[in-house]
Structure 1
Amino acid sequence: MATRQTAEAKIDAIQDKGNNTAQEVRDVLTEILNYTENKPFPAIPEIDSFHFWTEKNPVYDRFQNSLHYSVKGFAKQFINLTFRIEIFTPSAAGSNISDNVFEFPLDEKHIKYLKYLQDIIVPLNTINVSFIIPYRYSNDKQIIDHPLSVSIYFTEKTIVFDFNNVKNANNSKEELVISRGSSYTSVTWHYPPFNLGKV
Protein backbone atom coordinates (compact mmCIF):
# COMPACT_ATOMS: atom_id res chain seq x y z
CA MET A 1 0.00 0.00 0.00
CA ALA A 2 1.35 3.39 -0.94
CA THR A 3 2.13 5.70 1.95
CA ARG A 4 3.27 9.27 2.22
CA GLN A 5 6.80 8.02 2.86
CA THR A 6 6.94 5.85 -0.29
CA ALA A 7 5.51 8.70 -2.38
CA GLU A 8 8.10 11.14 -0.98
CA ALA A 9 10.89 8.63 -1.62
CA LYS A 10 9.98 8.35 -5.29
CA ILE A 11 9.77 12.14 -5.59
CA ASP A 12 13.23 12.47 -3.98
CA ALA A 13 14.62 9.99 -6.50
CA ILE A 14 13.87 12.33 -9.39
CA GLN A 15 17.15 13.76 -10.61
CA ASP A 16 17.50 17.54 -10.69
CA LYS A 17 18.37 18.53 -14.24
CA GLY A 18 18.71 14.84 -14.93
CA ASN A 19 17.44 12.57 -17.62
CA ASN A 20 14.36 11.14 -15.93
CA THR A 21 12.62 8.61 -18.11
CA ALA A 22 8.92 8.64 -18.79
CA GLN A 23 8.68 5.37 -16.85
CA GLU A 24 10.25 6.95 -13.78
CA VAL A 25 7.87 9.89 -13.94
CA ARG A 26 4.91 7.52 -14.33
CA ASP A 27 6.08 5.56 -11.27
CA VAL A 28 6.14 8.74 -9.20
CA LEU A 29 2.70 9.88 -10.36
CA THR A 30 1.25 6.40 -9.83
CA GLU A 31 2.63 6.26 -6.31
CA ILE A 32 1.11 9.66 -5.50
CA LEU A 33 -2.21 8.57 -6.97
CA ASN A 34 -2.20 5.34 -4.98
CA TYR A 35 -1.43 7.26 -1.81
CA THR A 36 -4.26 9.75 -2.28
CA GLU A 37 -6.72 6.97 -3.09
CA ASN A 38 -5.74 5.07 0.07
CA LYS A 39 -6.13 8.11 2.31
CA PRO A 40 -9.84 8.54 3.15
CA PHE A 41 -11.42 11.96 2.99
CA PRO A 42 -12.84 13.26 6.26
CA ALA A 43 -16.49 12.47 6.72
CA ILE A 44 -18.86 15.29 5.82
CA PRO A 45 -21.39 15.84 8.60
CA GLU A 46 -25.00 15.55 7.55
CA ILE A 47 -26.63 18.97 7.35
CA ASP A 48 -30.34 19.20 8.04
CA SER A 49 -31.70 22.17 6.13
CA PHE A 50 -35.23 23.53 5.97
CA HIS A 51 -37.17 26.10 3.94
CA PHE A 52 -40.81 27.12 4.01
CA TRP A 53 -42.47 30.14 2.47
CA THR A 54 -45.70 31.68 1.23
CA GLU A 55 -45.58 30.41 -2.34
CA LYS A 56 -48.35 32.48 -3.93
CA ASN A 57 -50.57 34.46 -1.61
CA PRO A 58 -49.62 36.25 1.61
CA VAL A 59 -51.16 35.48 4.97
CA TYR A 60 -53.41 38.02 6.71
CA ASP A 61 -54.01 39.04 10.28
CA ARG A 62 -57.46 39.85 11.67
CA PHE A 63 -57.31 43.37 10.23
CA GLN A 64 -56.24 42.24 6.75
CA ASN A 65 -52.67 43.41 7.09
CA SER A 66 -50.59 41.10 4.90
CA LEU A 67 -47.34 39.18 5.22
CA HIS A 68 -45.20 37.26 2.75
CA TYR A 69 -42.52 35.20 4.49
CA SER A 70 -39.68 32.86 3.62
CA VAL A 71 -37.93 31.01 6.45
CA LYS A 72 -34.72 29.18 5.59
CA GLY A 73 -31.85 27.74 7.58
CA PHE A 74 -29.88 24.84 9.01
CA ALA A 75 -30.92 22.90 12.08
CA LYS A 76 -28.92 23.80 15.20
CA GLN A 77 -27.20 26.61 13.29
CA PHE A 78 -29.32 29.60 12.26
CA ILE A 79 -32.45 30.73 10.49
CA ASN A 80 -33.07 33.55 8.04
CA LEU A 81 -36.43 35.24 7.60
CA THR A 82 -37.11 37.27 4.47
CA PHE A 83 -40.46 39.01 4.60
CA ARG A 84 -42.71 41.72 3.23
CA ILE A 85 -45.16 43.09 5.73
CA GLU A 86 -47.83 45.59 4.71
CA ILE A 87 -49.76 47.46 7.37
CA PHE A 88 -53.08 48.72 6.04
CA THR A 89 -54.83 48.96 9.39
CA PRO A 90 -52.70 49.96 12.39
CA SER A 91 -53.50 47.78 15.37
CA ALA A 92 -54.53 50.81 17.45
CA ALA A 93 -57.54 51.11 15.17
CA GLY A 94 -58.96 47.92 16.64
CA SER A 95 -60.19 47.19 20.13
CA ASN A 96 -59.01 44.81 22.84
CA ILE A 97 -55.62 44.21 21.21
CA SER A 98 -52.16 45.47 21.95
CA ASP A 99 -51.02 48.50 20.03
CA ASN A 100 -48.33 47.87 17.44
CA VAL A 101 -48.45 44.06 17.71
CA PHE A 102 -49.36 42.18 14.54
CA GLU A 103 -49.93 38.42 14.62
CA PHE A 104 -50.08 36.49 11.36
CA PRO A 105 -51.13 32.86 10.99
CA LEU A 106 -48.58 30.46 9.56
CA ASP A 107 -49.67 28.40 6.60
CA GLU A 108 -51.05 25.13 8.02
CA LYS A 109 -48.51 23.03 6.15
CA HIS A 110 -45.62 25.03 7.63
CA ILE A 111 -46.38 24.36 11.29
CA LYS A 112 -44.44 21.08 11.20
CA TYR A 113 -41.25 23.06 10.53
CA LEU A 114 -41.46 24.82 13.87
CA LYS A 115 -39.54 21.87 15.35
CA TYR A 116 -36.44 23.44 13.82
CA LEU A 117 -37.07 26.67 15.68
CA GLN A 118 -38.34 25.35 18.98
CA ASP A 119 -35.62 24.61 21.55
CA ILE A 120 -32.91 25.15 18.93
CA ILE A 121 -32.78 28.76 17.82
CA VAL A 122 -35.96 30.68 18.54
CA PRO A 123 -37.98 29.69 21.62
CA LEU A 124 -41.69 29.79 20.86
CA ASN A 125 -43.94 32.37 22.52
CA THR A 126 -40.91 34.38 23.59
CA ILE A 127 -40.00 37.95 22.73
CA ASN A 128 -36.31 37.63 22.05
CA VAL A 129 -33.86 39.73 20.06
CA SER A 130 -34.94 42.95 18.38
CA PHE A 131 -34.13 44.05 14.85
CA ILE A 132 -33.88 47.40 13.12
CA ILE A 133 -35.79 47.18 9.84
CA PRO A 134 -36.52 49.72 7.09
CA TYR A 135 -40.14 50.90 7.13
CA ARG A 136 -41.71 52.87 4.26
CA TYR A 137 -44.77 55.04 4.53
CA SER A 138 -46.33 58.07 2.82
CA ASN A 139 -47.32 61.36 4.43
CA ASP A 140 -49.38 62.40 1.37
CA LYS A 141 -46.48 64.56 0.16
CA GLN A 142 -43.61 62.14 -0.08
CA ILE A 143 -42.59 58.53 0.50
CA ILE A 144 -40.41 58.19 3.57
CA ASP A 145 -38.09 55.37 4.60
CA HIS A 146 -37.01 55.23 8.21
CA PRO A 147 -35.70 52.57 10.62
CA LEU A 148 -38.00 50.87 13.12
CA SER A 149 -37.21 48.51 15.97
CA VAL A 150 -39.23 45.28 15.99
CA SER A 151 -39.23 42.00 17.90
CA ILE A 152 -40.16 39.03 15.72
CA TYR A 153 -41.06 35.70 17.27
CA PHE A 154 -43.11 32.56 16.64
CA THR A 155 -45.91 30.89 18.54
CA GLU A 156 -47.31 27.41 17.88
CA LYS A 157 -49.26 28.65 14.86
CA THR A 158 -48.34 32.26 14.20
CA ILE A 159 -45.52 34.70 13.54
CA VAL A 160 -45.65 37.91 15.56
CA PHE A 161 -44.26 41.35 14.77
CA ASP A 162 -44.07 43.45 17.93
CA PHE A 163 -43.27 47.12 17.30
CA ASN A 164 -43.74 48.12 20.93
CA ASN A 165 -40.09 49.12 21.15
CA VAL A 166 -41.15 52.38 19.48
CA LYS A 167 -41.49 55.14 22.06
CA ASN A 168 -42.45 58.76 21.96
CA ALA A 169 -39.78 61.35 22.61
CA ASN A 170 -39.49 63.58 25.69
CA ASN A 171 -39.23 60.56 28.02
CA SER A 172 -42.87 59.68 27.41
CA LYS A 173 -43.85 56.06 28.03
CA GLU A 174 -46.59 56.29 25.44
CA GLU A 175 -46.22 54.01 22.43
CA LEU A 176 -46.23 55.48 18.94
CA VAL A 177 -48.82 54.04 16.58
CA ILE A 178 -47.25 52.44 13.53
CA SER A 179 -48.30 54.30 10.38
CA ARG A 180 -49.75 52.56 7.36
CA GLY A 181 -46.78 51.35 5.40
CA SER A 182 -44.61 48.38 4.52
CA SER A 183 -41.23 46.75 4.98
CA TYR A 184 -39.41 44.29 2.72
CA THR A 185 -36.20 42.95 4.24
CA SER A 186 -34.35 39.99 5.81
CA VAL A 187 -33.28 39.20 9.36
CA THR A 188 -31.24 36.33 10.75
CA TRP A 189 -31.21 34.56 14.10
CA HIS A 190 -28.16 32.88 15.54
CA TYR A 191 -28.23 32.08 19.24
CA PRO A 192 -24.81 31.60 20.78
CA PRO A 193 -24.66 30.20 24.33
CA PHE A 194 -24.37 33.59 25.98
CA ASN A 195 -24.75 33.83 29.71
CA LEU A 196 -27.03 36.83 29.91
CA GLY A 197 -27.67 36.63 33.63
CA LYS A 198 -26.09 38.82 36.27
CA VAL A 199 -22.31 38.61 36.49
Structure 2
Amino acid sequence: MHDSLIRKFCESRYRWAIVSTATALFALLVLLPLVDEFFDKRMSRTDLASRLETARRTAEQLPAFEKQVAGVREQLGAFEARTIDEAGLAGFRSRMVDAVRESGCQIRRFEVSPPAQRPWMDPDSPLAETQPNASAATPFLLERRNVVLAVDGAMSAVQELLARLEKEQCLSHPRRLNMQSVTGTGEAVTLEMELWLFALVRKSA
Protein backbone atom coordinates (compact mmCIF):
# COMPACT_ATOMS: atom_id res chain seq x y z
CA MET A 1 0.00 0.00 0.00
CA HIS A 2 2.80 2.39 0.89
CA ASP A 3 4.70 1.46 -2.27
CA SER A 4 1.57 2.20 -4.31
CA LEU A 5 1.20 5.65 -2.77
CA ILE A 6 4.87 6.45 -3.31
CA ARG A 7 4.70 5.26 -6.92
CA LYS A 8 1.58 7.35 -7.58
CA PHE A 9 3.28 10.39 -6.03
CA CYS A 10 6.40 9.92 -8.15
CA GLU A 11 4.33 9.44 -11.32
CA SER A 12 2.15 12.50 -10.54
CA ARG A 13 2.82 15.56 -12.67
CA TYR A 14 2.14 17.78 -9.57
CA ARG A 15 4.87 16.21 -7.48
CA TRP A 16 7.27 19.19 -7.87
CA ALA A 17 4.56 21.66 -6.93
CA ILE A 18 3.72 19.58 -3.89
CA VAL A 19 7.39 19.35 -2.90
CA SER A 20 7.89 23.10 -3.37
CA THR A 21 4.80 23.93 -1.34
CA ALA A 22 5.77 21.56 1.44
CA THR A 23 9.29 22.98 1.49
CA ALA A 24 7.97 26.54 1.66
CA LEU A 25 5.59 25.67 4.48
CA PHE A 26 8.40 23.98 6.39
CA ALA A 27 10.61 27.03 5.90
CA LEU A 28 7.87 29.34 7.16
CA LEU A 29 7.22 27.20 10.20
CA VAL A 30 10.91 26.99 11.08
CA LEU A 31 12.36 30.31 9.93
CA LEU A 32 9.64 32.80 10.92
CA PRO A 33 10.13 32.29 14.67
CA LEU A 34 13.88 32.65 14.12
CA VAL A 35 13.36 35.90 12.20
CA ASP A 36 11.10 37.28 14.95
CA GLU A 37 13.66 36.33 17.57
CA PHE A 38 16.44 37.96 15.53
CA PHE A 39 14.58 41.27 15.21
CA ASP A 40 13.54 41.20 18.88
CA LYS A 41 17.16 40.78 19.93
CA ARG A 42 18.27 43.45 17.49
CA MET A 43 15.72 45.92 18.87
CA SER A 44 16.73 45.04 22.43
CA ARG A 45 20.37 45.65 21.59
CA THR A 46 19.51 48.96 19.93
CA ASP A 47 17.52 50.06 22.98
CA LEU A 48 20.33 48.98 25.29
CA ALA A 49 22.89 50.85 23.20
CA SER A 50 20.72 53.97 23.31
CA ARG A 51 20.43 53.74 27.10
CA LEU A 52 24.17 53.24 27.45
CA GLU A 53 24.81 56.30 25.27
CA THR A 54 22.41 58.38 27.38
CA ALA A 55 24.11 57.19 30.57
CA ARG A 56 27.53 58.03 29.10
CA ARG A 57 26.44 61.55 28.17
CA THR A 58 24.91 62.08 31.60
CA ALA A 59 28.12 60.94 33.26
CA GLU A 60 30.12 63.35 31.10
CA GLN A 61 27.84 66.23 32.10
CA LEU A 62 27.94 65.49 35.84
CA PRO A 63 31.09 67.56 36.54
CA ALA A 64 29.49 70.59 34.86
CA PHE A 65 26.27 70.08 36.82
CA GLU A 66 28.19 69.73 40.09
CA LYS A 67 30.14 72.91 39.32
CA GLN A 68 26.91 74.75 38.57
CA VAL A 69 25.31 73.52 41.82
CA ALA A 70 28.40 74.59 43.77
CA GLY A 71 28.19 78.05 42.21
CA VAL A 72 24.52 78.39 43.11
CA ARG A 73 25.23 77.27 46.68
CA GLU A 74 28.03 79.83 46.96
CA GLN A 75 25.75 82.60 45.71
CA LEU A 76 23.01 81.49 48.10
CA GLY A 77 25.46 81.48 51.00
CA ALA A 78 26.63 85.00 50.15
CA PHE A 79 23.01 86.15 49.89
CA GLU A 80 22.02 84.58 53.21
CA ALA A 81 25.04 86.18 54.90
CA ARG A 82 23.65 89.60 53.97
CA THR A 83 20.12 88.98 55.27
CA ILE A 84 19.05 89.95 58.79
CA ASP A 85 16.62 87.40 60.18
CA GLU A 86 15.73 86.63 63.79
CA ALA A 87 18.96 84.70 64.30
CA GLY A 88 21.13 87.56 62.99
CA LEU A 89 19.28 90.41 64.68
CA ALA A 90 21.35 90.43 67.88
CA GLY A 91 24.59 90.62 65.89
CA PHE A 92 23.20 93.46 63.79
CA ARG A 93 22.25 95.44 66.91
CA SER A 94 25.71 94.94 68.35
CA ARG A 95 27.44 96.08 65.16
CA MET A 96 25.26 99.18 64.93
CA VAL A 97 25.99 100.18 68.54
CA ASP A 98 29.72 99.64 68.01
CA ALA A 99 29.66 101.72 64.80
CA VAL A 100 27.97 104.63 66.59
CA ARG A 101 30.40 104.58 69.51
CA GLU A 102 33.54 104.10 67.40
CA SER A 103 32.57 107.02 65.15
CA GLY A 104 32.27 109.34 68.16
CA CYS A 105 28.47 109.79 68.09
CA GLN A 106 25.91 109.30 70.85
CA ILE A 107 22.73 107.25 70.46
CA ARG A 108 19.48 109.12 71.04
CA ARG A 109 17.14 106.43 69.71
CA PHE A 110 17.55 102.92 68.36
CA GLU A 111 14.47 100.81 67.58
CA VAL A 112 13.92 97.64 65.56
CA SER A 113 10.30 96.72 64.81
CA PRO A 114 8.92 93.16 64.72
CA PRO A 115 9.08 91.66 61.21
CA ALA A 116 6.26 92.16 58.73
CA GLN A 117 5.82 89.17 56.43
CA ARG A 118 4.28 88.62 53.03
CA PRO A 119 4.61 85.87 50.40
CA TRP A 120 7.62 86.22 48.12
CA MET A 121 6.59 85.93 44.46
CA ASP A 122 8.47 85.35 41.21
CA PRO A 123 9.17 87.96 39.96
CA ASP A 124 9.01 90.29 42.94
CA SER A 125 10.64 93.30 44.58
CA PRO A 126 11.34 93.72 48.30
CA LEU A 127 10.35 97.39 48.01
CA ALA A 128 6.83 96.56 46.79
CA GLU A 129 4.21 97.14 49.47
CA THR A 130 1.80 94.59 47.96
CA GLN A 131 2.16 91.38 46.00
CA PRO A 132 2.80 91.96 42.28
CA ASN A 133 0.14 90.82 39.85
CA ALA A 134 0.66 87.88 37.47
CA SER A 135 3.48 86.44 39.58
CA ALA A 136 4.10 82.84 40.57
CA ALA A 137 4.19 81.78 44.21
CA THR A 138 7.42 80.59 45.82
CA PRO A 139 8.09 78.59 49.02
CA PHE A 140 9.46 81.73 50.74
CA LEU A 141 8.20 84.63 52.81
CA LEU A 142 9.71 88.11 52.68
CA GLU A 143 10.48 89.55 56.11
CA ARG A 144 10.91 93.29 56.55
CA ARG A 145 12.03 95.02 59.73
CA ASN A 146 11.97 98.78 60.27
CA VAL A 147 15.05 100.20 61.98
CA VAL A 148 15.05 103.75 63.34
CA LEU A 149 18.40 105.17 64.44
CA ALA A 150 18.90 108.70 65.82
CA VAL A 151 22.32 109.98 66.94
CA ASP A 152 23.99 113.24 67.99
CA GLY A 153 27.54 114.19 67.12
CA ALA A 154 29.92 116.43 65.27
CA MET A 155 29.53 116.61 61.51
CA SER A 156 32.77 114.70 61.01
CA ALA A 157 31.61 111.99 63.43
CA VAL A 158 28.26 111.62 61.65
CA GLN A 159 30.05 111.35 58.31
CA GLU A 160 32.26 108.63 59.80
CA LEU A 161 29.16 106.80 61.03
CA LEU A 162 27.52 106.89 57.59
CA ALA A 163 30.70 105.52 56.03
CA ARG A 164 30.72 102.65 58.54
CA LEU A 165 27.05 101.86 57.91
CA GLU A 166 27.67 101.79 54.16
CA LYS A 167 30.23 99.02 54.70
CA GLU A 168 27.69 96.91 56.59
CA GLN A 169 26.61 95.29 53.26
CA CYS A 170 23.38 93.90 54.67
CA LEU A 171 20.23 93.70 52.57
CA SER A 172 18.69 97.02 53.52
CA HIS A 173 17.00 100.05 52.01
CA PRO A 174 17.41 103.63 53.36
CA ARG A 175 13.77 104.59 53.76
CA ARG A 176 14.33 108.02 55.33
CA LEU A 177 17.28 110.24 56.26
CA ASN A 178 17.06 113.53 58.14
CA MET A 179 19.89 115.70 59.45
CA GLN A 180 19.51 118.88 61.54
CA SER A 181 21.98 121.28 63.06
CA VAL A 182 22.01 121.40 66.86
CA THR A 183 24.07 124.56 67.37
CA GLY A 184 23.08 126.50 64.27
CA THR A 185 26.65 126.52 63.03
CA GLY A 186 26.55 122.96 61.70
CA GLU A 187 29.38 121.77 63.91
CA ALA A 188 27.04 119.50 65.89
CA VAL A 189 24.13 117.74 64.16
CA THR A 190 21.37 115.26 64.84
CA LEU A 191 21.00 112.41 62.37
CA GLU A 192 17.81 110.35 62.20
CA MET A 193 17.48 107.55 59.67
CA GLU A 194 15.04 104.76 58.95
CA LEU A 195 16.18 101.52 57.33
CA TRP A 196 14.31 98.53 55.99
CA LEU A 197 16.02 95.21 56.68
CA PHE A 198 15.10 92.22 54.52
CA ALA A 199 15.26 88.46 54.86
CA LEU A 200 13.74 85.48 53.05
CA VAL A 201 12.45 82.64 55.20
CA ARG A 202 11.01 79.34 54.05
CA LYS A 203 7.31 78.81 54.63
CA SER A 204 6.47 76.35 57.37
CA ALA A 205 4.87 73.11 56.23
What TM-score do you get using the length of structure 2 for normalisation?
A: 0.28
Which has the larger strand fraction? Answer: 1
Which has the larger helix fraction? Answer: 2
